[in-house]
Structure 1
Amino acid sequence: MKLKALTTAMILAALPTAGAFAAALDRSGQSISAFLQPGNYFEAGISILDPDVSGKDISGNNASDMAGDYYFPTAALKLQLTDQFSFGLLYDQPYGAEAEYTGNNNFVAKQSDRLLPSASSPTLGQAGLGNVVTGGTSVEVDTQNLNFILGYQPTANWNLYGGAVYQTVKGNVKLRGSAYSLYNGYDADIKETGDFGWLAGVAYQIPEIALKASLTYRSEIEHNAQVNENIPIVNLVAANPTLLFGALGITDPATQQAIGQKLAALGGSGKTDITTPQSVNLDFQTGIMANTVAFANLRWVNWKDFSIQPYKFGLVSQAAGQLLPQLNKPNGFNLVDYSDDQWSANVGVGRKLTEQWAGNVSVGWDSGAGNPVTTLGPTEGYWNLGLGVQYSPTPATFIAGGVKYFWLGDADAQTGAHSAAGTFSDNDALAYGLKLGYRF
């Protein structure tokens, strides 16, 4: 079982057949397999995801096909500078979201929805004053990573590596419909911002038996983003605070003064902290017979400590928590957060079929990041089945493609205030991937 006979299958084993529909905002899986390829190497790929996510709001109305299709590219250049030093430049889009609600449900604004709650409403309800803007709830989040990796190979078996990661993030969120109560009509535009993090890892290989293992840690990356926010209820109440006092039955002058001070603070602006999570990837492959390798990937992402609370959103949530004790949120709440960390696994077998053709099959699992989940991404984990094929017209080049089918986990959806908003079940997704590779 020699390396030459396994070259094609080894490349394939490191190839994700397509992009993932993973927990929270996780998208690319942040593989560094290209950096661990022998010699000088270049690859470029694209993944496309077509999800079908539907459910019902808390009133039983249908919320159909709310998850948007998306695609994301990847690219990598690895140079073996000397026998002991290597350099890699990797590009991917690690996190993202794409969704929009349509139809007749509580995630789409209607003319009957109102801006202000009433004193008799048990929650932040619909009764009150002022019609809201129309349209559906939507979210779009995009990130980009550029990884600069330096590796040191003290022997032919070991590789110690680390480097800097430059990451950008941008996005926009629109909350519409009675599900969001005070935030019906809320807009947040996250201006693109960038900052640095780091990665470090170790790899071990025995080429004669096609064994390769690597462990990679990525740090969290802190962004201090400018978020342009619009909250219709704030505009309305700031112009005439007595509307809020009357709706909630607030007559105490001291309370009215305190509320007035909070409203004045909302007229300003502040930065929003967005910290993308730390993660760990464990990759393993080994030859199991002539021309055949088994491979596995395990991934952990620290979503439990992730949250986004834009500046004005946070001030309003704190005021709502204090004025409406039934929310049980005296310190406010977040636009997005998660209750659990993500664990995922992908295992499979790759086999060289001829001198030019190879194929693989894989099974994947993702734990999700807790349930209930945000209405902006209402699924909890998945199982998937993947198939891949690779064609190598020359020993130095290959074209690989694949497809994955995802069975998405059922989830209960909730708003940022952790109010029940709906249920989503029996959903799925189909993903496609294409990658080109070249050794030189």
Structure 2
Amino acid sequence: MKLKHLSTAMILATLPATGVFAAALDRSGQSISAFLQPGNYFEAGISVLDPDVAGKEAGTTATRRNIGDMGDDYYFPSAALKLQLTDKFSFGLLYDQPFGADAQYSGNNAFVASPSDPILGSLPITTGALGGTQGGTSVEVDSQNISMIFGFQPTENFNFYGGGVYQTIKGNVHLRGSAYSLYNGYDASIPEDGAAGWLAGAAFQIPEIALKASITYRSEIDHKINADETIALADSITANAGMLGSTIGQLVAAGQLTPAQAGAIQQTIGKAIAANQVEGQTKITTPQSVNLDFQTGIMANTVAFANVRWVNWKDFAIRPYKFGKVSEAVGGLIGRPNGFNLVEYSDDQWSVNAGVGRKLNDKWAGNVSVGWDSGAGNPVTTLGPTEGYWNVGLGVQYSPTPQTFIAGGVKYFWLGDAKAQTGAQAGSDQYVADFSDNNAIAYGLKLGYKF
């Protein structure tokens, strides 16, 4: 079975929408397949995701209102250049946007601010009484990676590679609504920060049967950022400390609070006011990952392919500095004396994509694929309330010349049902909303040139 001319590009380039939706903040899938193409090679692509993520208040939320679609559309580009410098040495530059988030709550629910939202469950004081806050919860996170890879091919069959990775990350988050209690009105702006990491891997191939296998490790990357944080209710509490003290005294006199409870609340408010004045550096560490890719010819002009990806989300967390200090101040009231994170995940992510590609003639090729993603735990953050997925995909590639191609792909995702919890609830069985029966559609386009 001679499949030497059924190149990897002919099949895998028809999958430009492979990694546009995954667990936690994972987006691109961080493929290095372009670097493993034969000869000199360039590609550029764009992927678009249109999610529909809706749910309903549940769990500890007092009401049971519907939550409209909170998943925003997003797109991201990618590009790669691979040069075969000699018979034994190669060089590559890969650009992608590996991690991100886009979400926006709207309507009338626990994730949209209302003047009647309480500031703390045990106090009959609303955000409206302290000046109020407006809008819906939203989050936007963007990242960019440039990977510079050097490869060594001691024989035709083996390729050992490694290199540096430069990564930038930025974002903003706005927490609104009664679900977030004291953090209703919290804003954080994370300015763009750059940091370096590395990757290493090895590949094995038998060109005569279109067999290729590779494993790639990517390191963690540490970012240290001076985030601009505002906790609107903490600011209002500071300005209205006298009114709060008087109200607490009235509740004690009416028998609605014991002196011990009142003392604990006043002590917590004092700590929160002090914590709200501090400034410090926020550390964000993007996770390590491993990609395993495999393809082999199964008959003339036909290959089977598979990708397995692991991402270490279990050790990932975001705790902006001021957010964390205030959480330590108020955490004792909810059994979290060490505070809590804005975002964290309970499990690592595993994802699998597999399919079959076929060269139809000298100009056309296509494929079908199926995919599965484990998610990163359930319950999961309200800023990304899905747990994994199943998907099916179709791809097609047209090659007007032997050196050039244009490829397109589409995937449909059945998103996993999830219970959404706030940072204060993370690590427990408590949650504030259910999200179920959701889906997404992804589209991709890629141009390639072999030279």
Given the two structures, how large is their TM-score scaled by the length of structure 2? 0.91
Q: Does the alignment pair 1:276 with 2:275?
A: no
- Deviation track 1:371-396 (CA, whole Å, cap 9, x = no partner) reads 00111111000000000000011111
From 406, 426, 433, give the equivalent of 2:437: 426
C-alpha contact 1:346 1:364 (8 A) present in aligned 2:
yes
C-alpha contact 1:365 1:384 (8 A) present in aligned 2:
yes
- Deviation track 1:296-331 (CA, whole Å, cap 9, x = no partner) reads 000000000000001111111111112x1xx22111
- 2:139 is matched with 139
- 1:77 is matched with 81
Q: Cα gap change, 1:246/1:407 in structure 2, threshold over 3 Å: closer, same or farther?
A: farther
Aligned residues with identical type, % of pairs = 70
Q: Does the alignment pair 1:86 with 2:97?
A: no
- 2:99 is matched with 95
Q: Does the alignment pair 1:187 with 2:187?
A: yes
- 2:216 is matched with 216
Q: Cα gap change, 1:177/1:357 in structure 2, threshold over 3 Å: closer, same or farther?
A: same
- Distance in 2, matches of 1:420 and 1:210, equals 49
- Distance in 1, matches of 2:98 and 2:370, equals 21
Residues 297-316 of structure 1 aligned to structure 2 (within 5 Å): 297-316=307-326
- 1:153 is matched with 153
- Distance in 2, matches of 1:60 and 1:255, equals 29
Q: Does the alignment pair 1:111 with 2:115?
A: yes
Residues 14-413 of structure 1 aligned to structure 2 (within 5 Å): 15-18=14-17, 19-58=19-58, 59-114=63-118, 116-117=119-120, 119=122, 129-245=129-245, 260=270, 263-322=273-332, 324=333, 327-413=334-420
Q: Cα gap change, 1:253/1:321 in structure 2, threshold over 3 Å: closer, same or farther?
A: closer
- How many residue pairs were aligned? 432
CA RMSD of aligned residues (A): 2.1
- Deviation track 1:20-43 (CA, whole Å, cap 9, x = no partner) reads 310000000000000000111000
Task: State which drifts further: 37-46 or 51-60.
Answer: 51-60
C-alpha contact 1:52 1:65 (8 A) present in aligned 2:
yes
C-alpha contact 1:118 1:128 (8 A) present in aligned 2:
no
Q: Does the alignment pair 1:439 with 2:438?
A: no
C-alpha contact 2:14 2:396 (8 A) present in aligned 1:
no
Given the two structures, how large is their TM-score scaled by the length of structure 1? 0.94
Q: Cα gap change, 1:253/1:374 in structure 2, threshold over 3 Å: closer, same or farther?
A: closer
- 1:11 is matched with 10
- Deviation track 1:48-96 (CA, whole Å, cap 9, x = no partner) reads 0000110012322111111000000000000111111100000000000
Structure 2: tracts of 5 or more residues without a match: 250-258
Q: Cα gap change, 1:392/1:255 in structure 2, threshold over 3 Å: closer, same or farther?
A: closer
Q: Cα gap change, 1:140/1:231 in structure 2, threshold over 3 Å: closer, same or farther?
A: same
- Distance in 2, matches of 1:265 and 1:179, equals 21
- Distance in 2, matches of 1:307 and 1:401, equals 35
Task: State which drifts further: 247-256 or 63-72.
Answer: 247-256
- Distance in 2, matches of 1:224 and 1:370, equals 26
Instruction: Tell me the SS of whatever aligns to 1:6.
Output: coil
- Distance in 1, matches of 2:33 and 2:265, equals 59
Instruction: Tell me the SS of whatever aligns to 1:200.
Output: strand
Q: CA deviation at 1:265?
A: 4.0
- Distance in 1, matches of 2:324 and 2:248, equals 20
- Distance in 2, matches of 1:333 and 1:244, equals 25
Q: Cα gap change, 1:396/1:248 in structure 2, threshold over 3 Å: closer, same or farther?
A: farther
- Deviation track 1:273-315 (CA, whole Å, cap 9, x = no partner) reads 0000000000000000000000000000000000000111111
- Distance in 2, matches of 1:365 and 1:254, equals 48
**Letter aligned with residue 321 of structure 1:** G
Structure 1: tracts of 5 or more residues without a match: none
Q: CA deviation at 1:119?
A: 3.8
- Distance in 1, matches of 2:13 and 2:447, equals 13
C-alpha contact 1:119 1:247 (8 A) present in aligned 2:
no
Q: Cα gap change, 1:119/1:151 in structure 2, threshold over 3 Å: closer, same or farther?
A: same
- Distance in 1, matches of 2:399 and 2:211, equals 22
- Deviation track 1:314-353 (CA, whole Å, cap 9, x = no partner) reads 111111112x1xx221111100000000000000000000
Q: CA deviation at 1:2?
A: 3.0
